[in-house]
Structure 1
Amino acid sequence: MIVPVKKFTAVTLADNARKLIDTLGRLGVIQLKKLDESEFVGFKEIVSEEAKEYENLYEKLNSLKNKLNASLKKPETIEFTKIKPSLEELKSSIEAFEKRIVELEEKIKSVKEQLKTLNESKPILQILKNQKINPGDIGEFKHIFAKAGIAKTKLLPSLRLRLKPRKEITFREAAVSPEETFLYITGLIELKDWIEKLLTTVEFKEFKLPLGIPNEINEAIKWVEEEIKKYEDELKTLEEKWASLKQEFEEKAGYLEVVVRYGLDVCLAEGNLLRSRMMVVLQGWVPIN
């Protein structure tokens, strides 16, 4: 459907520019025309300093909305002539939400990483227990080092040939599957770099245990279970806070989005005005009816 329109020109005091734009918006202005300074002697183009800031705030709101997977509750009506939050007030409100969301997101990420490390350590500890090796037996000591991990079974013959003549190195192996073998290697500290390079030839995956794990194997297994329970409880609490924050954002950010969008639209509309020292002029089209 084509809406019939007519062209209009408006001239007003500079202080009334925003009020005029707001009024025209409510009257159904379809489009403002970009004016040529040469056609209006004494008038210059208006460059809005706030447009970029409103644009940044609008993008930030959308980013936070996507991060929370939120559905904003838009206000039914807003009387912009009565409610005029400043740009700084809008920025403060949005940045306060951003800070809370980022901090909570980082805490949740950290707890999930801790849980991942702890859960990954459970099968490792079971292998160590079966081999009667304590977590405290792995690591770097004063004169020797010890490593434990998984290697490719088919690549081990060459490793055995290289290590067998070395009396200062001991290693133990045990099959964990047809394709993989557990290795426990100890040696003098000065041979550590050489051993590490050699282990790359068998695609060695070194065991990584959580920080703070007890040295004794049974204590370590019990500690891991307790830590998992602790972090699972903490994650549940954080996720409840996330849900609460999402709900608060949905209730409040709809208003912020509408007001920021309005501020941005006004700034963009001002880009179509020409201004003299005291007056502004604009042109556009409105529906005939």
Structure 2
Amino acid sequence: MSGPVIVGVDGSASSLAAVEVAAHEARLREAELRIVHAFGWPAAHMPAGVAPWARGEKGLEAMVEGTLAEAERRAYARAPEVVTSRSVVVGEPLMVLEIESRTAALAVVGSRGLGGFGGLLLGSTAVHLAAHGHCPLMVVREHPEPAGPVLLAVDGSPAGEAAVGFAFAEAALRSAPLLALHVWNTWSERAYDGPGDPLSSVVVDIDRLREAEQRLLDEALEPWRARFPQVEVEPRLVRSRIRPALIEASREAQLLVTGARGRGGFTGLLLGSVSQALLHHAHCPVTVVRGTG
């Protein structure tokens, strides 16, 4: 999707780190960077007698200008050639970013903040944006391994195909290798990753299941290998618990890409448990890509 890279800022250290990542992403895409700042508390959390744009004793203009000036400074320092614009909106930040995402190629947010976009992974904001946004959402977490691969969580679902394409494109933009990791266990036949011991033998033919999971991985990657021949791909099939295996693999990655909902998702569920776990616990930035399947 063409369009700008948007980044939500609230002046927190996390959101300013997200600005730097977003500027880098915009440079890779030769796209505009749009810095989005929303001010105002949700009505349910607004202190009595306080205007929705008030922030302590700071004036609105000084607060907004200070936040945006620092964000623009960070963006320019990281990618001076990128055209940068501002979008300052009165409104609940969650809805503001969702609306902004309709014309964006990528949305970037920090993992924690002051309020506005703050507490992303402590509350439901990142989950909501990943489930309801109109473009891929990148949540900036911890410090990625700069020389690491782009890590793709392959689930083989039709909805996950968009994530596969995004990961190949991102690896090409970064000139990075792609590690395509498909984690399976004996619950895979039931598309289930829940309590119990998924490593125990609950199916008759483990070898047959392993072969089926290998085919699933190969078939998910095959069409994208042809489109991105420059990307070095390492397919990896691992028998393990899904969430812990992906989280551990993220330690050595520069970016983790996952679909919003995989084979185990319930009908109508917009964000699966694996995606939510990665948003909360991965050791590198996570991009959630919604599919149409």
Whose relative contact order is higher, 1 or 2, with alpha carbons under 8 Å and at least 6 apart? 1
* TM-score category (smaller protein): under 0.3
Which one has the largest radius of gyration? 1
Normalising to structure 1: TM-score of the pair?
Answer: 0.21
